[in-house]
Amino acid sequence: MYIVTGGAGFIGSNLVHELNLHGITDILLVDNLADSRKLFNLHGARFADYMDKKEFRRALEEKALGISRVSAIFHQGACSNTLVDDGVYMMDNNFAYSKVVLRYAVEMGAPLVYASTAAVYGLGGPGHFTPILENERPLNIYGFSKLTFDHYVRSELAMGHIPTTVVGLRYFNVYGPREQHKGRMASVIHHFSKQILETGKVRLFEGSGGYGNGEQRRDFVFVRDVSRLNMFFAQTGPYTPRHADSAKTYQAVVNAGSGRARTFNEVAKAVMLVHGKADVEYVPLPADLNARYQHFTQADLTGLRETGCELKFTQLEEGIRETFQATNAVAV
């Protein structure tokens, strides 16, 4: 059995679909479906069972899940809303819950690949996106909750408490199909597309953080690449070792980005290649984002490559084209 927490969310649902493409359907899908829009992400998906997140966590804590063998756990479930300031909720949901999942993975001897975030780096500029302590300065409780779990994993690994695969993937700006339910937290690719289709215009931020109008830069990574990274470290699907004795134990916290920063102006142009030319309007950065906005991100992939992962990342223009090719099949 494979377990995907957050399996109806943006990254989780794309991971389920990617597993399905490789014939894997023996999946326990875990999520909170209070937001019923997530159901559209699962159209065409195949999985064996579903559990509500609270029920799943309770079963783990009571050692009552009742699964005899777990092939891998993909822990994608989290509150990823960077504007949520409820520290008690965020630490329980993103930190305490993750510790429960980690303990279960170790007990079952199952590989665990979990979602961390580039938000741990805060306002780091060029050269400050290597996963080391000096660079880790989150701007919000979301980034802090993720960093705290990264620290916990590192500590447990250093003390030799984890004999199995545990890999944290620090997601940069992930985009792709199945993110329509995220609202304001959806990628700029999603928002730019919606703006062009509805108004014939695209709105970018005016200059900020030392960058000109629309020249702020982010590392945009295609969601299918992120799904493949998860599967690589869990040695699942096309990455399954041919012989059982050739399986490798991965233990790391690494960046999951393309390794290349692109401007918002470039993103807008790439979206226009799909939807047609549109007017560009530059608007002020919202006041509530001013103190927590990353003007620049770019993943340092050194640590990722040192694990032996040579996965090639999809170029932005190609990823955007593939995203909207899927429009007729899924909501984006």
Residues belonging to the active site: 142, 182
DSSP state of 58: H
Residue whose pair of structure tokens reads 């059995």 in the numeric block:
1
Dist CA 29 CA 6 (whole Å): 8
**47, two tokens:** 């999985």
DSSP element (H, E) containing 174: strand 173-175
Q: At what angle do helices 264-275 and 316-325 cross, to 10 degrees?
A: 40
Beta pairing, strands 49-52 & 166-171:
unpaired
On whether the CB atoms of residues 217 and 211 are closer than 8 A, the answer is: yes
Dist CA 175 CA 191 (whole Å): 11
Residue-wise over 40-73: b if at least 16 C-beta within 10 A, else e? ebbeebebeebbebeebbebbeeeebeeeebbbb
Largest Cα–Cα distance of the chain, in whole Å? 58
On whether the CB atoms of residues 216 and 205 are closer than 8 A, the answer is: yes
